[in-house]
Amino acid sequence: MPDLVFDLALYDAIKQATTMTDLYTVGCAQLSAAEQDWLAVALSAKLVELCFYRPFEPSVEDCRFIRDALNAHGDIMTPDNRIALQELIIGTAVRLAIKGLIAEALVLAPAKRLPTVMARILFRVALPSTLRTRVKTLVGR
């Protein structure tokens, strides 16, 4: 017997989900509490990763889901994975802010990391590309 039952009712519920929170709620129906925590973190990580390799901009609701899930359950990740995901989140917040999606960026970025986000925005927007390249070379990027 499989762990999860993917029947027509589940398929219909997934099709009707319009937000990440809706999709998460549907996904939780057959999961234990611990599995629900992992699902929240996994959905958050995948959504942030999607921002890097597809032309996708998360909504404020998506950003809120990511922020809340990682605040509540981020401690279940390994320290290395948590650090890597935080870097992806910072990069996504910077990109969103530069595109003018300020509300999304502010919701997504942890408050304590806003100075880092602001510095990276300034780095990308205010510095000439030749200086950016030299700085990146100096820090090994």
Which stretches of 74-109 are DSSP H helices? 79-98, 102-108
Question: Which of 33, 28, 25, 20 lies closest to 4, judged by CA?
Answer: 28
In this prediction, residue 81 carries a pLDDT of: 95
Q: What is the pLDDT of residue 125?
A: 86
Any idea where the domains of the chain sit in the sequence? Answer: 33-138
Q: Which of 14, 80, 3 is nearest to 45 (CA)?
A: 80
Read off the amino acid at residue 90: I
- pLDDT tens-digit series, residues 59-83: 999 999 999 999 999 999 999 999 9
List per-residue pLDDT tens for the chain, 141 residues long: 567 888 899 899 999 999 999 999 999 999 999 999 999 999 999 999 998 877 789 999 999 999 999 999 999 999 999 999 999 999 999 999 999 999 999 999 989 999 999 999 988 888 788 877 887 788 787
